Chain A
Amino acid sequence: MRRHPPTLRALLLPGAVVLGVLALPWLPADSRIYYMQELTMGFLYAGLAQSYDLVGGLLGYINLGHIVFFGLGAYTTGILFNLGVPLIGGLAASILVAGAFAALISIPFFRLRGAYFSLATFALVKLMEHVTDNLRDLTGGSSGLKILAGNRVLPMYYVTLALLAAAMATSWAVGRSRLGLGMKSIREDEGVARDFGVPTTRIKAQALVISTVLPAALGGLFTWYINFINPGEVFGLKLALQPVAMAMLGGSGLVIGPLIGTAFLYGLEELIWTRFEFLQGAMLGLVVVLVGLFMPGGIARLKGVERALERLGLKEDDS
């Protein structure tokens, strides 16, 4: 399909949004801190959804244990930070730990196909929660891990934003690469791909390792920002399922999908929590059900949304 360059007028709105997000910390309104904090968490979720979708969307393996790498990063950075290692060192160690862990588990876990894989990765979340809970000396157990507090709202805002942009760039680049082609062929039919000489085992391991870099870094930053973590939070089942739901809601397999899904679900959540007193979870659940039933490809593949994306020059080849 031929791509048309976006018109200047069409770029006005998204351009304004990007400028507004960049300029937010310097606006003279007092409420900016509140919005910065909200948006920081939004960027974090979007980054998790985006990196999940490398494996979930391009490779077609629904990894319900994506949050494990976030939790590993959170604890690695937290523990090292308390030992006096600076943040950058902690984040680097987090990425290494998560990557090594991913490489290690990719061998047994990717022997499982389809739903088996989802089941086993989901169990991994609970396993990690229990293990961190029980390794009291290292992690502080269920009473959590504290680090020295500080006001980190401003740097966190820009760092998470930059990481989100990097995640989207990674998804875009991987999607167009040889590796991405291999991943898509595995998604469509793994048996055929292998018979045609696609090195499926290596590609799956590579995809998983790449997908862990961002959650590990975000996990470390999360500890640094929040100052306190506990196993039930960073390895929580709701936190595990949220990025997956966001990616699927927005449009799994598209670069823009997870971002749209996060904006939609996170925005909706905020709206529901501030407007209604009861049954917020049920309303959220209802929306998730309706999307699952009536929007098989997610929001980004709806006709109207596709047209809007096309005007912005953001429509992707969906293959």
Chain B
Amino acid sequence: MDLQAILQLVINGVLGGAVYSLAALGLALIFGVSGVLNLAHGEFLMLGGFFAFLGYDRLGINPFVLVFIVPPVFFVLGYAFERVMIRPLALRKEHVRLASATLVTLGAALIFEDVAAFASLGTEFDKSIGYFIGSLTVGTLVLPSLKLIMFGLVVLLMAQLAWFLKYTYVGLAVQAVTQSRRGAQLSGVNVAAINGIAFGLGTFLAAAAGALEVIHSSVNPLVGLPLTLKYLCIIVMGGLGSFAGVTLGGMIIGLSESIVGYFTPAWGQTVAYLLLVGILLIRPKGLLGR
């Protein structure tokens, strides 16, 4: 195995992991603030990918520009989703609320999946933007510039998120509610509004990941639930409530899929779940969980 192959595997793994982390951060944000397992999260990624595809295919907009246009639309969608579907459940008893939220988000996932499948009847099933830019050559190494640009975008989005959480009032309120709902409420944080904003932000991140996903691979109506499951793995592995942990979890999954998949393709997808169970055995609260 030469250097070039190793480099390719690492680049693919890091990029895959970065996109995973981005969407998983959204899910972790939603879970942290509202305590809701949002089973429809992967569907928002799928829809984000669809919108980006349509923007490129019908309107001819540059796919990298779409990564910045599509997510804000989904912020509004996510906010509305919380307002209509999740907020009415807020006053129920803890385990009843968990059950109701599971039903509501599961039902929503089924609706999104089926409507997307219905809307794409008669067109191609897998939506993908066949975008191509020439590779960079550094010395003897060939670097895929498309993937480097995408990686840069993910890092940019994450840096924005980190800045937002650390230096704005709303971001600090999001963190406060994640740490202690009651404590935040007592200090005058409008918890209901923060819930809505967290859903909006989480959905924003899922849509951004979806818009990136259609550039380097593809999105179809059925990817939602399996992806949600993978993000759930990532945030549990990294430790719920720890954003660094989520990023680490995403990277571990991305790299392990890429590297194990190279040697034994069949086990590439399995390793994520094996790792999850293994890590939980040693650290029940995840790698960086408290």
Query: Which residues of A pack against B, CB within 8 Å?
Result: 56, 60, 62, 108-109, 111-112, 114-116, 118-120, 122-127, 130-131, 133-134, 187, 237-238, 241, 244-245, 248-249, 252, 278-282, 284-293, 296-297
Contacts and interface: CB of A to CB of B under 8 A. Distances in A.
A124 B107 contact: no
Contacts of B226: 126, 237
A289 B107 contact: yes
Interface string B234-275: 011000100000000000000000000000001101100110
B110 A282 contact: yes
B149 interface: no
B76 interface: no
A285 B108 contact: yes
A10 B117 CA distance: 46
Interface residues of B, number: 49
5 contacts: A130-B273, A237-B226, A288-B106, A288-B107, A292-B101
Give the 8 A-B CB pairs with smallest separation, nearest first. Answer: A285-B110, A292-B103, A288-B107, A281-B114, A127-B273, A289-B107, A130-B270, A292-B104
Contacts of A118: 37, 98, 102
Given A115-B31, A127-B273, A291 B267 contact: no
B115 A111 contact: no
Contacts of B273: 123-124, 126-127, 130
A248 B98 contact: no
B88 interface: yes
Interface in B141-182: none
Contacts of A187: 95
Specify which of B88, B104, B107 lies most central, judged by the most chain A CB atoms within 10 Å of its CB.
Answer: B107
Contact of B107 (A131, A279, A292): A292
B69 interface: no
The A interface is mostly helix, strand or loop, or mixed, namely helix
B100 A282 contact: no
A120 B236 contact: yes
Given A134-B267, A284-B110, A112 B103 contact: no
B240 A288 contact: no
A125 B276 CA distance: 12
B111 A286 contact: yes
A286 B104 CA distance: 9
A293 B104 contact: yes
A119 B277 contact: no
Contacts of B103: 245, 248-249, 288-289, 291-292
A284 B113 CA distance: 12
Nearest to A59: B95
B85 interface: yes
B277 A124 contact: yes
Contacts of A281: 110-111, 113-114, 117
